């Protein structure tokens, strides 16, 4: 019997989940899909210990969990690691799907007025709870999140994530110029707020602090220097910002920082590029920038739905692969139009198609799970179904509605008929998963688990 969404599990009980298990053991190949790095275990039991950690998996055909295991039977459904959204703005749920602007006027017209409201603790707390519940309702169990400039907004997100046991990386936004009254801080005030937040939340449970520079335009050189100092003073801090999203923005940065070689170089000079740095977009970069990303270990959070919606440009993933810098995938709500990762991956495919390349489903899914976890230094905790990781999981219907159901049946027939003694057929399995990735959305979500506890994601 399917117990999803109904029963709260008694605390600290061993859990066995039956489903088709899909995750990655290594980075898949770029271009034509092969099975390199793909681990597909159809109809298996995933075993989760009392500590919420994955213990292993067994084929259902030859194994039945004993009576001391609570069983959740999701047979015929797809179980994957919970998605990791590496760039998203909690307060921007208020302005998602706002008409008629590109990046700079979108900020001024919609985003800044919305963010001002989060100065109020009640608004911030409501917003944080709504946002994290919405992530879970889209099968996303971990995220790197922008709060607002207000300390209370980051506080609210950390507290709400702790309550839910979720993995969260966030921080108070730094902005001391080119922003309206009520959304500006200053160097010393910001430093004090960051220090207090780091003290209280960084490394507490599953929370980590990110030094959060909105973008080069809204911080003075003095504030960028302070941000770099914070990162050097505290071990394990993340850094998140935006880079080279839009051509007008790039031109403005060049005017504000004439001494820098490029937009990305502004951050490098402030000591902000390192292996825990997450930079959204990275559309208008050159080869020198890409080499700098590779050499510092920083990652680009590619945000396809946002880039299409705001008309920012087409991210060059092929160039990232060629030079070897890290890429993860993110929704960037509210510039992005959905928190749903399958929809976002489908948009990523279309962006690459417009560039003349074909993104395979394995590369896309890896970038939103294990790839993101590795880029964040968190693959010991999340991103795959390996032993010892926390069971942050999402279970998906392979298909919803007549069109997807028919398409899945066609793909499943191909998977079965092509099953060769040599092992799994690469192309038919990819065809099925690609069709799922392209057609699925949050209505396909069947169950969500955070650290081995089932979440009632439909309560809202
Ligand atoms: Zn953003």
Ligand 1 centre distance from Cα of residue 390 (Å):
28
Mean pLDDT across 183-211:
98
**458 confidence band (pLDDT: 50, 70, 90):** confident
Ligand 1 centre distance from Cα of residue 87 (Å):
6
Q: Is residue 242 pLDDT above 50, yes or no?
A: yes
Question: Which pLDDT belongs to residue 413?
Answer: 82
**What is the pTM for the complete model shown?**
0.95
* Residue 329 vs residues 65, 128, 246, 315, 441: alpha-carbon distances, Å: 36, 22, 18, 11, 16
**Ligand 1 (ion): which residues have CB within 5 A?**
280, 332
Residues 6+ apart with CB under 8 A from 178: 217, 218
Question: Which pLDDT belongs to residue 427?
Answer: 80
Mean pLDDT across 98-114:
91
Question: Which pLDDT belongs to residue 3?
Answer: 37
Six token digits for residue 328: 């993860």
Ligand 1 centre distance from Cα of residue 330 (Å):
9
Question: Which pLDDT belongs to residue 2?
Answer: 37
Ligand 1 centre distance from Cα of residue 207 (Å):
20
Mean pLDDT across 63-92:
97
Phi, psi angle pair for 260, to nearest 5°: -85, 145
Mean pLDDT across 364-373:
98
Of 53, 83, 76, the residue nearest 2 (C-alpha): 76
Ligand 1 centre distance from Cα of residue 89 (Å):
6
Ligand 1 centre distance from Cα of residue 227 (Å):
18
Question: Which pLDDT belongs to residue 422?
Answer: 47
Q: Is residue 161 pLDDT above 50, yes or no?
A: yes
Of 71, 48, 69, 45, the residue nearest 58 (C-alpha): 45
Please write the tens of the pLDDT for every residue from 248-303: 999 999 999 999 999 999 999 999 999 999 999 999 999 999 999 999 999 999 99
Q: Is residue 54 pLDDT above 50, yes or no?
A: yes
Mean pLDDT across 170-175:
98
Mean per-residue pLDDT over the chain, rounded:
94
Ligand 1 centre distance from Cα of residue 234 (Å):
25
DSSP 415-451: HHHT-BTTB--HHHHHHHHHHHHHH--GGGEEEEEET
């Amino acid at each position: 019997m399917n117990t999803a969404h109904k029963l709260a599990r008694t605390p600290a009980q061993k859990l066995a989940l039956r489903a088709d298990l899909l995750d990655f053991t290594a980075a898949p190949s770029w271009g034509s899909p092969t099975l390199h790095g793909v681990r597909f275990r159809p109809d298996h039991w995933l075993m989760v210990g009392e500590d919420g950690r994955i213990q292993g998996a067994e084929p259902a055909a030859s194994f039945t969990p004993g009576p001391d295991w609570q069983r959740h039977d999701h047979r015929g459904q797809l179980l994957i690691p919970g998605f990791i959204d590496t760039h998203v703005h909690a307060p921007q749920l208020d302005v998602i799907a706002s008409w008629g602007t590109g990046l700079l006027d979108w900020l001024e017209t919609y985003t800044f007025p919305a963010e001002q409201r989060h100065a109020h603790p009640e608004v911030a707390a409501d917003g944080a709870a709504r946002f994290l519940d919405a992530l879970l309702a889209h099968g996303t169990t971990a995220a790197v999140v922008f709060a607002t400039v207000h300390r209370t907004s980051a506080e609210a997100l950390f507290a709400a994530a702790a309550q839910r046991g979720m993995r969260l990386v966030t921080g108070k936004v730094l902005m001391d110029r080119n922003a309206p009254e009520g959304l500006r801080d200053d160097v010393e005030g910001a430093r004090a707020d960051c220090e207090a937040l780091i003290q209280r939340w960084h490394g507490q449970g599953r929370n980590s602090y990110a030094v959060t520079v909105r973008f080069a335009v809204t911080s003075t050189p003095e504030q960028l220097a302070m941000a770099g100092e914070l990162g050097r003073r505290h071990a394990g801090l993340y850094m998140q910002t935006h880079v080279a999203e839009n051509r007008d923005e790039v031109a403005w940065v060049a005017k504000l920082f004439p001494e820098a070689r490029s937009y990305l170089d502004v951050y490098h000079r402030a000591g902000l590029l390192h292996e825990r740095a997450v930079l959204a977009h990275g559309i208008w970069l050159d080869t020198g920038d890409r080499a700098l990303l590779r050499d510092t270990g920083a990652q680009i959070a590619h945000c396809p739905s946002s880039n299409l919606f705001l008309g920012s440009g087409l991210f060059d993933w092929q160039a990232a692969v060629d030079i070897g810098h890290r890429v993860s995938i993110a929704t960037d709500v509210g510039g992005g139009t959905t928190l749903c990762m399958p929809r976002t991956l489908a948009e990523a495919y279309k962006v690459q198609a417009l560039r003349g390349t074909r993104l395979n489903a394995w590369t896309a899914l890896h970038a939103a799970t294990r790839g993101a976890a590795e880029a964040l230094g968190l693959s010991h905790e999340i991103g795959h179904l390996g032993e010892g990781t926390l069971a942050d999981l999402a279970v998906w219907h392979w298909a919803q509605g007549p069109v997807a159901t028919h398409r899945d049946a066609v793909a499943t027939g191909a998977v079965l008929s092509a099953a060769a003694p040599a092992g799994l057929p690469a192309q038919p399995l990819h065809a099925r998963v690609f069709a799922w990735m392209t057609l699925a959305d949050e209505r396909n979500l069947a169950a969500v688990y955070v650290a081995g506890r089932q979440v009632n994601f439909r309560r809202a």
